[in-house]
Amino acid sequence: MDNDDFDELSDLEVWDLWVQSDEGKAREKIYQTLLDLESDPEVKKSDTCLEFLRLMRAFEPSDPSIESIQDIVDRLNDGFNTLRAKKNAAVRHEQSRKAKAFVLREWALHRAAYNGNKSAFTRDYVKRVRNEFDVVVTEKQMREVWLKNTPPAGKPACLLAGG
């Protein structure tokens, strides 16, 4: 069949011809295999397999933006790189998240002992966080960022010192 014959075919006829091609059959086979894997109980037990299937859900055999199997591989690589970056970031920031949760718990417990003074609290806890969690945080960051959603630390800005 030459190019002139393709011009006379409807979209559905072109689709039927493409599906019968080797690449079309390969795409359909990949897609069908992925659907089968989603229902496999052994696959459901593996977080890695489930993440792979989640990445592959973007693959539709009829997607016109996918011009070759290499496009699928490239999209998978992009997805895996993103996943790897997220996991590395989670590991890298794990200690900071633990330290912040600790500070929030401690502030809730000891707020009264510090008379609601976040500055005094952070002066003491910056050192403790550095020693116990090996996390370096400034007093300002702890006071204004880590404790930002806690009740105010002092008088409102509009009040004068005596009143």
Q: Distance between CA 60 and CA 32 in Å, rounded?
A: 10
Helix (H, G, I), strand (E, B) or coil at 79: helix
Q: Quick check: 48 and 56 in contact, CB under 8 A?
A: no
pLDDT at 23: 63
Nearest to 56 by CA among 66, 64, 42, 41: 66
Q: pLDDT tens track of the chain, all 163 residues?
A: 544 554 565 656 655 665 566 666 666 777 777 777 777 787 777 777 777 777 776 666 666 666 666 777 777 778 778 878 888 888 899 999 999 999 999 999 999 999 989 999 999 999 999 999 999 999 999 998 998 876 555 555 565 555 4
- All residues at 6 or more sequence positions from 6 whose CB lies less than 8 Å from its CB, including other chains: 14
Give 19's Cβ-side CA count (13 Å radius).
12
- All residues at 6 or more sequence positions from 108 whose CB lies less than 8 Å from its CB, including other chains: 150
Angle at which helix 22-38 crosses helix 69-92, to 10 degrees, equals 40
